[in-house]
Amino acid sequence: MDKIKDDGQTKTKKEISIIHPRPSSIVAALYTLRDLNVDVAILHGPPGCSFKHARLLEEDGIHVVTTSLDENGFVFGGHDELVALLEKVSEMFDPKLIGVVGTCVSMIIGEELHDAVLEANPDVPVIEVEVHAGYRNNTKGVLLTLESALDSGIISENEFDRQKALLEEATMVEKRHGAASKEYLAPSRGDVKYKVAQRIIGLLKEGKRGITIMNAKKETGYMFADITVAVNEIAKQLGVETNIVNMANIDDTLGLPRVRHHAKCIKDDLEARGIVIHDNIGGLDEYPIAGNVAGKLIDEKYGDYDFAVITGVPHAVPMDSISGMEIISVTNGPRQVLPLKEMGHKYVIVEIDLHPKTLGVNHIVESEFGATLREVAKDE
Partner 1 sequence: MSDNLNEQNKPKVIAIYGKGGIGKSSTASNVAAACADEGYKVMIIGCDPKSDSSITLLGGKRIPTILDLIRSGVDITEDDVVFEGYNGIKCVEVGGPEPGIGCAGRGIIVAIQKLKKISTVQDQCDLVIYDVPGDIVCGGFVAPIRKGLVSEAYVLTSGEYMPLYAANNICRGLSKINTPLSGVICNARNVSREDEIVRKFAEEIGSKLIAFIPKEQIVQDCERDGFSVMEKAPDSEIAQVYRKLACAIMSKDGSVMVKALEDERLRELTR
Q: Tell me the β-bridge partners of 129.
A: 101
Stretch that binds ligand SF4, among 40-48, 71-79, 319-327, 356-364 (CB under 6 A): 40-48
82 binds ligand SF4 (CB under 6 A): no
Strand 279-280 versus strand 244-248 pairing type:
parallel
State residue 177 phi and psi, 5-degree precision. Answer: -135, 15
Shortest Å distance, C-beta 98 to ligand SF4 = 20
Please give the Cα distance from 339 to 331 (Å, whole number): 11
Contact with partner 1 (CB under 8 A): which of 76, 96, 202, 271? 76
67 binds ligand SF4 (CB under 6 A): no
Stretch that binds ligand SF4, among 72-80, 98-106, 111-119, 293-301 (CB under 6 A): 98-106
Within 180-209, which residues bind ligand SF4 (CB under 6 A)? none
Please give the Cα distance from 284 to 281 (Å, whole number): 9
Q: Choose the one of ligand SF4, partner 1, none that binds residue 103, judging by a C-beta under 5 to 8 angstroms depending on kind.
A: ligand SF4
109 binds partner 1 (CB under 8 A): yes
SS (H, E, C) 31-87: HHHHHCCCCEEEECCCCCCCHHHHHHHHHCCCEEEECCCCHHHHHHCCHHHHHHHHH
Contact with ligand SF4 (CB under 6 A): which of 49, 117, 200, 281? 49
Strand 63-66 versus strand 40-43 pairing type:
parallel
Shortest Å distance, C-beta 80 to partner 1 = 10
Shortest Å distance, C-beta 75 to ligand SF4 = 15
**Dihedral angle at the C-alpha atoms of 332, 335, 341, 344, nearest 10 degrees?**
-70
Shortest Å distance, C-beta 357 to ligand SF4 = 24
Element (H, E) at 118: helix 113-120
Choice between 30 and 297, CB closer to ligand SF4: 30
Please give the Cα distance from 226 to 69 (Å, whole number): 42
Choice between 107 and 364, CB closer to partner 1: 107
Stretch that binds partner 1, among 108-116, 152-160, 198-206, 344-352 (CB under 8 A): 108-116
Q: Choose the one of ligand SF4, partner 1, none that binds residue 133, judging by a C-beta under 5 to 8 angstroms depending on kind.
A: ligand SF4
Choice between 103 and 367, CB closer to ligand SF4: 103
Non-local (6+) Cβ contacts of 153 within 8 A are 125
Stretch that binds ligand SF4, among 79-87, 99-107, 165-173, 182-190 (CB under 6 A): 99-107
109 binds ligand SF4 (CB under 6 A): no
Q: Choose the one of partner 1, ligand SF4, none that binds residue 46, judging by a C-beta under 5 to 8 angstroms depending on kind.
A: ligand SF4
Reported as half-sphere exposure (CB side, CA atoms, 13 A), residue 2 has a value of 10
- The rounded Cα 144 to chain-centroid distance in angstroms is 17
The burial class, CB within 10 Å (0-12 / 13-18 / 19+), for 227 is buried
Shortest Å distance, C-beta 217 to ligand SF4 = 22
Contact with ligand SF4 (CB under 6 A): which of 34, 46, 137, 311? 46
Q: Which residues here bind partner 1, judged by CB under 8 A? A: 71-77, 79, 108-110
